[in-house]
Structure 1
């Protein structure tokens, strides 16, 4: 029995995050926060009012 496609993608993302965290000597939680902060800094600010 195989996992649904979405679940497989989540497992692959998890495995990748674990590998990168281990390589960079960070905890998994620290790696997730790091990725969120880096991603936030690279998104241009929206100066338009809704």
Structure 2
């Protein structure tokens, strides 16, 4: 199964972190937010992504 991940937006609520990097790449627990999303979907059998 395929999943489409919407990774747009300015990240205004994360302004301290998003001045130098895009919101999906802000780190949480040492990994980018996008990594956590992809890992969660992969755990449920979705391994084909369009970002």
The structure whose Rg is larger is: 1
Structure with larger RCO (C-alpha < 8 A, sep 6+) = 2
Greater strand share, structure number: 2
Q: TM-score, normalised by structure 2?
A: 0.34
Q: TM-score, normalised by structure 1?
A: 0.34
